[in-house]
Amino acid sequence: MKDGLDEEWAARPLEFIREGGQITLVIEDPGGEPLELHLTRPMEVRRFLQLAISIAAALGNLHQRGLVLTIVSGLARQVPSL
């Protein structure tokens, strides 16, 4: 599955680590910044659309490869309206 993920739109998994009864997935760090940093104040429409298109494209790529992120629907409810 790792080989089907392109570093242009996905943080690729490196390994699982089991420690203290918990399992952690270690992923590559492609850089960038957390989306929540952009949600602290109103966003310009142009920037909002750029982010929305990038997120939709990345999610589309994941879905094409059979990966479905159920957490996304929960996050959508937490995003404040603009």
Tell me the per-residue pLDDT of 13-71, one tens digit each, with 9 for 90 and over: 788 888 888 888 787 877 777 778 878 888 899 988 998 898 888 888 877 877 666 55
Report residue 4's pLDDT band, with 50, 70 and 90 as the boundaries: low
Helix, strand, or coil here: 1? coil
Statement: the pTM of the whole predicted model exceeds 0.85: no
Cα–Cα–Cα angle for 70, 38, 15, rounded to 5 degrees: 45
Q: Does the pLDDT value for residue 6 go beyond 70? A: no
pLDDT at residue 82, as a whole number: 44
